[in-house]
Structure 1
């Protein structure tokens, strides 16, 4: 893995908090960093290829848009972990999916616009081969944190 340059760090710091909403956001970032849009895009492409960057996007207020969330913990047989994770990932409302140690070893978050859809998805997930148990940890109150990584 390559070492981050001072420019890369400055670019990543800006992306976390100040991605402009305009027709040419990367040109505006470039101007702020003393370069042009093509340079910014080339660096972003390289950062993505090197694994420093997964995606660039926005966060929406899901509850304001009519969606409700839940955290789901699954107990999955080890030899079925990959297939269950892939099945969960196919649901458009699954926003995070990660393996953990312990009895409940696969966790995911699910956002849906309708409780009926949530129940249907959870029934389907519970019926997947290798799923031994499931806990639906419904969100009752959201405590939003804003994680930023200041790179020096």
Structure 2
């Protein structure tokens, strides 16, 4: 359940730290708590609350997918409006889909797909293309990777 809550100064400090200050240790939340001057349970409880409220979508590591043998593509899908939810749900079934979001315009559904081989990428895209309501699709396979470090200063 999501609800609106105003971020406190502690929340902002916690979220700023979470964006790039997690130490690679056996107890990363304990280390964060130490940096913030509170008990680990306070950090864990507040993170759960912030996630439930929609401020945090996911906590996880970023890996260099190319080094691990994976490649990514950005896909734009033109879907008949009455099929949008159904197609989005189908797309979300694939563990290789990292993002799926709606945008304005003819191509109103966009997702990113990361696979470890071309055949798997083509198979997934073919299955999505064959879904009822999918009118067309653009596979914008990445030729060059541009990485930016996006952090939001919440102060």
**Alignment TM class, shorter chain as reference:** over 0.9
Normalising by structure 1, we get a TM-score of 0.98
Question: What does residue 7 of structure 2 align with?
Answer: 4
Question: What does residue 27 of structure 1 align with?
Answer: 30
Output the CA distance in 1 between the equivalents of 2:141 and 2:80.
24
The count of aligned residue pairs is 152
CA RMSD of superposed structures (Å): 0.7
Output the CA distance in 1 between the equivalents of 2:48 and 2:109.
31
Output the CA distance in 1 between the equivalents of 2:56 and 2:11.
11
Ranges in structure 2 where 5+ consecutive residues have no aligned partner = none
The alignment status of 1:124 with 2:127, answered yes or no, reads: yes
Question: What does residue 99 of structure 2 align with?
Answer: 96
Output the CA distance in 2 between the equivalents of 1:119 and 1:50.
37
Task: Give the CA deviation at 1:46.
Answer: 1.0
1:45-92: per-residue Cα shift (whole Å, max 9, x none)?
A: 111111111111111111110001111111001111111011111111
SS in 2 for 1:17: coil
Aligned positions of 1:132-147 closer than 5 A? 132-147=135-150
